[in-house]
């Protein structure tokens, strides 16, 4: 029996153990995926200990995604640029860190919208940790036109300035973004605004939205945020954050096992889990 897991603080809420555990079962791989509740002060010893007890690989969640980096043996260039790791694999007894959040977002977008994103005019709302992973990953794939708006402008400017991948990006205030909204073909909402329990909030007005635009919100609780509802009302196609979560997990699974899990089954597993303890829309299949 191989051992995998996720480290975080808190960790009891994590959906990864059930999602990954079932994926291992379905692929016929004898493995256990465990939620490890690790406090910040115990991080170094926990990472060493996991090597000692034979853990094959693990995910990293809040608040350890950046703090874990000094305790790994090597880090993939994209994860290094992002400055955060969410997946660790064991190779020749060395811990190698990756970031599959941005890649997970991109794969979900391609699966739910379109494959070729090169020529899209993109507006990203938010400049936090998730925004950084999404922005750096999209730029690393050659998607050049991505503007960023954020409540704190300085954070958006810094995100653009620090990015090692070339692009044509401008930092905007939320008001400037609202005024220019019709120019964008893809809008990516990465802030925590609208997340349960503050479900009535929305990061900006969609009055000027181009109805042909695609609107993605990386929140999946609720399944359909007020922001996505407003976008849909204006005729836009929409996507919630469930796909990003599932794909980042599937990418981790592939790195550990060399096998591709069934995305549909993973999605169903997460939806089953969410069904019990989150605010659900009337139509569960709305995402």
E strand spans, 113-220:
122-125, 146-149, 171-172, 186-189, 214-217
Task: Rank residues 14 and 140 by Cβ distance to ligand NAP and give the closer one.
Answer: 14
**Pick from 185, 195, 166, 180: which is nearest to 122 by CA?**
185
Which residue(s) pair with 6 in the sheet?
35, 59
Among 130, 138, 187, 206, indicate the residue that binds ligand NAP (CB under 6 A).
Answer: 130
Rounded distance between C-alpha atoms, residue 66 and residue 267, angstroms = 27
If one asks whether residue 101 binds ligand NAP (CB under 6 A), the answer comes out as yes
Binding mask 4-23 toward ligand NAP (x if CB under 6 A, else -) reads: --------------------
Among 80, 144, 151, 265, indicate the residue that binds ligand NAP (CB under 6 A).
Answer: 151
If one asks whether residue 244 binds ligand NAP (CB under 6 A), the answer comes out as yes
Q: Sign of dihedral through CA atoms 260, 263, 269, 271? A: positive
Query: H or E element: which one contains 226?
Result: helix 226-233
**Among 65, 132, 141, 284, which one carries the catalytic annotation?**
65
Active site residue 232: no
Write out the two tokens for 152. Answer: 């704190």
If one asks whether residue 107 binds ligand NAP (CB under 6 A), the answer comes out as no
If one asks whether residue 188 binds ligand NAP (CB under 6 A), the answer comes out as no
Write out the two tokens for 159. Answer: 């995100």
- Beta carbon of residue 158, minimum distance to ligand NAP (angstroms, whole number): 10
Binding mask 190-209 toward ligand NAP (x if CB under 6 A, else -) reads: xxxx-x--------------
Using DSSP, state whether 113 is helix, strand or coil.
coil
Write out the two tokens for 172. Answer: 């905007």
If one asks whether residue 150 binds ligand NAP (CB under 6 A), the answer comes out as yes
- By beta carbon distance, the residue nearest ligand NAP is 128
* Interaction site with ligand NAP (CB under 6 A): 101, 126-131, 150-152, 155, 190-193, 195, 218-220, 241, 244-245, 248
């Amino acid at each position: 029996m191989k051992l995998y897991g996720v480290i975080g603080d808190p960790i009891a809420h994590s959906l990864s153990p059930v999602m990954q555990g079932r994926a291992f079962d379905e692929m016929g791989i004898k493995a256990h995926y465990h939620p490890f509740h690790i406090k910040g002060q115990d991080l170094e010893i926990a990472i060493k200990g996991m090597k000692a007890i034979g853990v094959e690989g693990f995910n990293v969640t809040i608040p350890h995604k950046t703090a874990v980096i000094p305790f790994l043996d090597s880090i993939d260039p994209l994860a290094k640029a992002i400055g955060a790791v969410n997946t660790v694999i064991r190779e020749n007894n060395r811990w190698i860190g990756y970031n599959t959040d941005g890649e997970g977002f991109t794969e979900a977008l391609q699966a739910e919208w379109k494959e070729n994103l090169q020529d899209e005019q993109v507006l990203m709302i938010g400049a936090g940790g998730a925004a950084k992973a999404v922005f750096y990953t999209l730029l690393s794939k050659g998607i050049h036109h991505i503007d960023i708006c954020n409540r704190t402008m300085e954070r958006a400017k810094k995100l653009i300035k620090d990015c090692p991948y070339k692009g044509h990006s401008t930092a905007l205030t939320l008001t400037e973004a609202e005024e220019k909204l019709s120019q964008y073909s893809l809008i990516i909402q990465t802030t925590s605004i609208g997340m349960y329990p503050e479900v009535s909030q929305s990061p900006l007005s969609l009055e000027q939205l181009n109805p042909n635009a695609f609107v993605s919100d990386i929140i999946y609780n609720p399944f359909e945020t007020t922001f996505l509802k407003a976008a849909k009302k204006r005729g836009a196609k929409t996507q919630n954050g469930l796909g990003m979560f599932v794909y980042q997990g599937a990418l981790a699974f592939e790195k550990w096992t060399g096998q591709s899990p069934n995305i549909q089954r993973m999605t169903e597993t997460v939806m089953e889990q969410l069904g019990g303890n989150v605010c659900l829309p009337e139509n569960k299949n709305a995402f």
